[in-house]
Amino acid sequence: MLSTTPTYNIKVVLKETNLPADTLRAWERRYGLPAPQRTEGGHRLYSQYDIETIKWLIARMEEGLSISSAVELWNERMNAGLDPLAGSMPTTQTLPAIYVPTGTTLDSIRVHWLEAVLSFKETESEQALNKAFTMFPVESVCMEVLQKGLAEIGRLWYENKASVQQEHFASGLVMRRLDSLMSAAPVPTSKQTVMVGCPAGEEHTFAALLLALLLRRHGLNVVYLGANVPVDQFEGAIKSTDTNLVILVAQSLITAASLQTTVAALSEMNIPIAFGGRIFNTQPGLENHVAGYYLGDTVQDALKQTEIILKKKTKPNIPGPVSQKYQNTLRGFIANRTHIESTLKESLSTLIANSAGVHTGIQFLGDNISAALQLGDMEYVTQEMEWVKVLMQSQKRSPQEMATFLQSYSSAVDKHINGTGAPIKAWLKTQAYSAS
């Protein structure tokens, strides 16, 4: 069997087939034969099967066929389910080894970088990034090494396989690198200005800074405001600049609610507002509850949508109002939250004894309930609750303890906002049932 693994570069192929490079590229372009794969840097990689395909075509031409007739014969046999190379063996006994040396693909560099940062090896991690940036475009390194690398560390932390210190160490290195790339970005070629920042409460700025960097590299004038920007600071910055578009980025359900509030406050300034972030990727439909332009699920989507918005070729989303039932529940919950959580802690005195984690879970759940009620759907809390479950599992808490926690929360809600807390109680009942 001939290997179909993409292994050899074009130099190997030209040497093995004696075919001119221009001819080989013309065959690929006109006839789709052979069909090499590409490295991250855009270089062709051929398999042993590709090499033998070329030699088969050359042999048919030596028999008197034109290249177009040879390709037609190849396609006829393939369409009939007959592989023209069936039973063939490599015609050359020794071919060079793998084209791409170990450590020179973005995937391998990312693995190396992750190993370095998880071991707190700053010099080694920086060297890995330096290597990547000398070999590949800035955009590719940012997304394939930095973005995917941080996502992997986040996953490890979520699964209790990486520490907070490791996550902070990695984030610090990445943010410093993005800051330096921002400083070195080319001078804007566009007169349009885009303001990028995170709403109040949002401290995770990687996505916002990455987007700001890529927009600047696309020629736009970018005003980057960073993390945890209150509404009045957005307003002041807009008044001080000739801003054409404001972009807000949120990563959690809590800050999505903060983003929604910011959008509503800034709408009076008649400036287009776009938004995005992790939470909108993980909670389908959440974007429909926020006024403005949704930027999409990826950085590439955001870049394309920004261009479309600036050209005024799309219309913003105008969400409908949150139900009166949810509005009443939100008011009741906010007014009585302190009492609800106090009652909960009393009923869980054994469970939360000497457990800062459970106290954190209570605060986290309350914040998410408020956010979900504001956004109009308690079901949004479900996915965010996975973190609380992992937290309790890491502390060796049983599923029954989780169910007890949720049932006690429901009782506390019933005690303090009986009659208007139905959406919260219904959600808690479902979660308690699934946890037990």
- Domain edge (last residue) among 279, 310, 341: 310
Same domain as 196, residue 166: no
Among the residue ranges 29-38, 239-248, 343-352, 392-401, the one predicted with the least confidence is 392-401
* In a shared domain, residues 128 and 222: no
Beta bridge partners of 276: 249
Instruction: Read off the DSSP letter of residue 8.
Output: B
Residue 223 pairs in a beta bridge with: 195
Q: Which of 367 and 348 is assigned the larger pLDDT? A: 367
What Cα–Cα distance (Å) separates residue 106 from each residue in 39, 101, 324, 384? 9, 12, 51, 31
Q: Using CA atoms in the order 241, 245, 249, 253, what is the torsion angle rounded to 10 degrees? A: 110
Cα separations in angstroms, 191 against 4, 187, 242, 306: 50, 11, 10, 14
225 falls within a domain: yes
Asked if 244 and 153 sit in the same domain, the reply is no
Average pLDDT over residues 408-421: 90
DSSP SS3 for 38: strand
Range of the domain at 173: 106-182
Whether 84 is in a domain gets the answer no
CATH code (residue 274): 3.40.50.280
Phi-psi region of 292 (alpha: psi -120 to 50; beta: other; left: phi over 0): left
Based on the fold, state whether residues 153 and 208 are members of the same structural domain: no
The span from the CA of 77 to the CA of 53, in Å, is: 13
What's the pLDDT at 94?
A: 42
Claim to verify: residue 206 and residue 301 sit in the same structural domain: yes
Answer whether residue 55 is part of any domain.
yes
d(CA 100, CA 44): 11
Band (pLDDT 50/70/90 cuts) for residue 102 is very low
- Answer yes or no: is 128 within a domain: yes
Beta strands in 54-182 (DSSP E): none
* Gap between the Cα atoms of 327 and 268, Å rounded: 23
Asked if 280 and 198 sit in the same domain, the reply is yes
267 and 172: one domain? no
Residues 197, 301 within the same domain = yes
Q: What gap in Å lies between CA 39 and CA 111, rounded to an integer?
A: 17
Question: Same structural domain for residues 164 and 225?
Answer: no
Judge if 363 and 422 occupy the same domain. yes
Type of residue at 265: A
Q: Give the CATH number of the domain where residue 68 resides.
A: 1.10.1660.10
d(CA 210, CA 302): 11
Looking at every residue in the chain, the average pLDDT score rounds to: 87
Give the model's confidence band at 90: pLDDT under 50 very low, under 70 low, under 90 confident, else very high: low
Whether residues 204 and 176 fall in one domain: no
What is the number of structural domains in the chain? 4
Q: What does the pLDDT read at residue 214?
A: 94
Between 367 and 187, the higher pLDDT residue: 367
pLDDT tens by residue, 160-212: 788 889 999 999 999 999 999 999 888 888 889 999 999 999 999 999 999 99
Report the CATH number at residue 131: 1.10.1240.10
204 and 281 in a single domain? The answer is: yes
**Which of the four pLDDT bands, split at 50, 70 and 90, describes residue 154?**
confident
Pick the last residue of a domain from 79, 94, 118: 79
pLDDT of 98 above 50: no
Q: Is the pLDDT of residue 91 over 90?
A: no
Give exposure, 261-280, as e/b (b: 16+ Cβ within 10 Å): ebbeebeeeeebbbbbbbbb
Confidence of residue 62 (pLDDT cuts 50, 70, 90): confident
Does any domain span residue 315?
no
The sign of the dihedral angle between the CA atoms of 210, 211, 212, 217 is positive
If DSSP codes are grouped into helix, strand and coil, which group holds residue 221?
Answer: strand
Query: Within a domain: residue 95?
Result: no
Decide if 120 is inside a domain.
yes
Two structure tokens written together for 161: 């396989």
Q: Which of 136, 152, 182 is the last residue of a domain?
A: 182
- The Cα-based distances of 44 to 24, 36, 40 in angstroms read 12, 6, 10
159: phi then psi, degrees, rounded to nearest 5:
-90, 10
Flag whether 3 is in a domain. Answer: no
| pLDDT number for residue 265 | 94
Structure tokens belonging to residue 402 = 């989780």
pLDDT in tens, 284-296: 899 999 999 999 9
- Report the alpha-carbon distance of residue 151 to residue 71 in Å, rounded: 45
